[in-house]
């Protein structure tokens, strides 16, 4: 039985690279894009073959379906990923400011509480 590596030791993990270029484990959205693209190619190619019975054209449609679905999902996923990163950054800055200014004279909530108590 092989012993698991200690936490202090660097672990030698091989990452899976598609075509030797695309590291699908570490690049966000790469794995899902390739999976949905392959499913899209099977559906497009098989659907075209069932409709026309033309083998060569169906293979071309399958390859085209792979490219279109992969790029389409990649763009959609990366857009959502970028939007999520921006929201996380804004939230992180808000929490940092809340911690920094809490219970000081610069606290915006404290100013709001004073102004509402003065107006009554």
As a whole number, mean pLDDT of residues 19-30 equals 70
What is the model's pLDDT at position 101? 76
**What is the tens place of the pLDDT at every residue in 55-92?**
999 999 999 999 999 999 999 999 999 999 999 999 99
Which sign does the torsion angle of CA 93, 95, 97, 99 carry? negative
Kindly indicate the confidence band of residue 1, based on its pLDDT and cuts at 50, 70 and 90.
very low
Which of 45, 46, 99, 37 is CA-nearest to residue 73? 37
């Amino acid at each position: 039985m092989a012993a698991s590596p200690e936490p202090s030791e660097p672990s030698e993990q091989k990452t899976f690279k598609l075509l030797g270029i695309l590291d699908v484990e570490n690049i966000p959205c790469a794995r899902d894009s390739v999976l949905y693209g392959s499913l899209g190619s099977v559906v497009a190619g098989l659907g075209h073959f069932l409709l026309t019975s033309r083998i060569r054209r169906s293979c071309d449609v399958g390859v085209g379906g792979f490219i279109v679905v992969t790029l389409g999902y990649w763009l959609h996923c990366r857009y959502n990923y970028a939007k999520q990163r921006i929201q996380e950054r804004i939230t992180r800055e808000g929490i940092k400011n809340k911690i920094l200014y809490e219970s000081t004279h610069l606290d915006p909530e404290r100013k709001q509480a004073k102004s509402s108590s003065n107006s009554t």
